[in-house]
Amino acid sequence: MANLASSQLISFLGRQGIIVAFVIFMAIFAFAEPRFISSDNLLSVVRSSAILGVMALGVTFVVISGNLDLSVGSMMSFSTIVVLDLHDKLGAGLAIPTMYLMTLGLGGFIGFLVGYLKLNSLIVTLGMLSAIHGLTLTYSGGKNMDIADKESTWFGFFGQGDILGVPVPIIIFLALVALLGTLLAKTPFGRKVYAVGGNPTAATFSGIKSSKTVFICYLLSAFCVATAGLIQASRSMGSQNTVGQGLELEVLAAIILGGASLLGGSGTVFKTLVGVLMLGFIQNGLLLMGLPFYVQFVITWIIIILAVWLDISVKRGKFWASV
C-alpha cells in the first residue's frame, strides 16, 4: 500500500510539477511579504499579466505544433499603433476590426511561409520581428500615438473597464483561456496540433494536413496578439511604437515555465496560464520586497530555471540526468 501511494504521488507530481512549484513560490513570497497575498495585490498582478497572458495563449498553439513565433512583440506594437491611429480617423467601431484584419494578415503571411513553404520558423519569425518593427515605424512615421479625445470615447472599456468589479482585461484573458483551452484539449483540431508537433511524419501518414494546421496556429497567435494590442491601447489610450519590444522572450519564458516543450507535441493552455501567473507573481513579489529592478531580473530568471528544473526532475524521478 505504501509503495502504491508513493507511486501515485510521484505520478501526480510528474503531471503537475509546475503547479506544485507555483504553490511553493507563492508560499515563500507570502511568508516573506504579507502584502503579497492581499486581494488588491493579487487582482493587480493578474490584471497586469493579462496582456502577456493573452499573447502566450496563442503562441502556445504554435509551440505545441513544433514551431516558434518570435514576431509577437513587434506584432503587438504594430496592432497597438494601428488601432490608436485608426481610432481618430475611423472611430473605434471601425478601427478595431480593421486592426484585427491587418494583424491577421501578418499572422497568415507567417503561417504561409512556415506551414506551406516549410521554411524554418525560427528564421522566418526572427526576420519578421525586424520587418514588422520597420513596418510599425513606417506606418507611424517614427512617432508615438495618442487618442485625441480620451473623454468622449468608449474605447477605454477594454483596458480600463470592469464588470461586477472584475477588470475587463482579466475577463478577456480568462475567457480566452476557457475558449482556447477547450479548442486544444477537446476538439479534433487540438489533437491535430499535438500530432503535428509530436511526430510530423506520422501525422502526415495519418492524413492530417500539417500545413493547414500550422497555418491556423499562426492565425490564432496573430488573433491573440491583436487582442493584447487592443487591451494595451485601451488601457493607456496612447502608446510608444516599441511597446511590445522584448515581449516575445517573456511570452516564451511563460510557456516554457508552464511545461511546454520547444520540440513540440506537449503543453496545455491551463499550464501556460500557470506559467504566466508564476512569472507575474515572481516579479511582483520581488518588487514588494524592495529589490532593485536589475537584481529582480537576475533573480526572476534564476527562479524560472529552478522551477523548470523542479518540474523536469519530478517527471524523470531524479535531480540529475544520467551521464
- On whether the pTM is more than 0.85, the answer is yes
Residue 12 lies in a domain: no
Average pLDDT estimate for 17-42: 79
Cα separation, 61 vs 290, whole angstroms: 36
Residue 256 lies in a domain: yes
* pLDDT per position as a tens digit, 270-304: 989 988 988 888 888 888 877 777 777 787 677 66
Residue pair 217/111 in contact by the 8 Å Cβ criterion: yes
Q: Which three cell numbers stand for residue 79?
A: 496592432
Residue 4 lies in a domain: no
Average pLDDT estimate for 175-197: 95
Residue 9 has pLDDT above 50, yes or no: no
Residue 137 lies in a domain: yes
Residue pair 300/286 in contact by the 8 Å Cβ criterion: yes
Residue 1 lies in a domain: no
Average pLDDT estimate for 59-81: 95
- E-assigned strand segments in 147-292: 162-163, 166-167, 238-239
Cα separation, 243 vs 73, whole angstroms: 8
To the nearest whole number, what is the mean pLDDT of the chain? 86
Q: Identify the residue whose cell numbers are 504554435.
A: 62
Q: What is the DSSP letter of 246?
A: T
Residue 175 lies in a domain: yes
What's the confidence (pLDDT) of residue 219? 97
In CATH, what number is assigned to the domain containing residue 142?
1.10.3470
* pLDDT per position as a tens digit, 204-232: 888 889 999 999 999 999 999 999 999 99
Cα separation, 54 vs 171, whole angstroms: 11
Domain hosting residue 37, numbered range: 23-147+155-316
Structurally, the chain folds into a number of domains equal to 1
Residue 297 lies in a domain: yes
Percent of the chain residues past pLDDT 70, beyond the cut: 88
Residue 17 lies in a domain: no
